[in-house]
Amino acid sequence: MTALAFVGALGMLLIFTAFFNVEAMAPRTRLERKFEEMGVMPERARISMLRQRPWLDRLLGSALQGWVERLLLLLPSEADEKKLLRAAFPSPYSNLSDLYAWKVLLSLALFLMGLVFTLLVGKVGFLLLALGLALFGFYLPDIHLSQAANRRKEEMLVEMSYVLDRMAIQLAAGRTLPVVITQLAESPGGWFSLELRQIARDYNSGVALVEAIEAMAERNDVDEVTRLASRLVVSIRRGTNLADALQVMARTTRERVESLILSRGLLNSVLMPIPIGLIVMLGVGLAIMAPGLFLALRNL
């Protein structure tokens, strides 16, 4: 039981660290930041950067390095990079190596939990349970990435529903598209504002506006963003009116958001009675079985 409790505590610790990214942060001085900009890394700055890494990464990073390198060679890393990009690199997956490290770590942790349970029960057949837990742990980061990508997509749609109206108003006032994008990028916002900020940054660095907009469509697997990028590119190349089209897209996006909210509400209304129904069924079952159990125990 002590070993099972230890493995269970380790699993809870890993899950807590995965979702909350506990870090031991150390302050950096202005001189250290200047050294980093110059490409010079003194000893104190290296120690400071090491302390900024999560403690679990510092503890197990070197041990997982070999497994991560093997996975980088075996698995389709391009597909996983797209998953990370769609989810905007949520914590603790700051890069592809972190994603594979968590896959290995969670798989090993859940396999050890299943193995300890198999040893305590004493049934060899429960090894299949340990293997199933290992497989589940390996794909658990993918589930996390999928949820983060869906959440980011919904938040982007909500923001687009009113930012497109603001863009249409400014274009109707006679401002050019680069000026409108730059002004909207400077205002606070969410994921869509970050995409506009990236477009403005690319455009100011010398990238063509069409290429910056097409890069936004490639970064996001969102139909509304793809249609917006196509409409903006057509307007830039042909000089067509854009304000009316943006107003139509804003109205369509609001309708999409309303349908998402409605479907989410219907799903919650269907799932809400399930816990109550289970409690009622448990109570009814106990009420029916209690007399029989009482008589059976009394006759023992």
pLDDT in tens, 21-62: 444 333 444 444 444 444 444 444 444 444 445 545 554 555
DSSP code string of 22-35: -B------HHHHHH
Helices (H), the chain: 2-20, 30-38, 43-52, 55-74, 77-86, 96-121, 127-172, 177-186, 191-204, 209-219, 223-238, 243-271, 273-299
65 token code pair: 């390095």
Q: Within 13 Å of residue 46, how many CA atoms lie on the same side as its CB?
A: 5
Q: How confident is the model at residue 91 (pLDDT cuts 50, 70, 90)?
A: confident
Count CB-CB contacts under 10 A for residue 37: 8
What confidence tens digit (pLDDT) does each residue in 233-248 have? 988 888 778 888 888 8
CB-CB contact of 160 with 250 (8 Å): yes
User: What is the reported pLDDT for 241?
Assistant: 81
Q: Provide the whole-model pTM.
A: 0.64
* Distance from C-alpha of 99 to C-alpha of 238, rounded to nearest angstrom: 43
Mean pLDDT of 88-103: 82
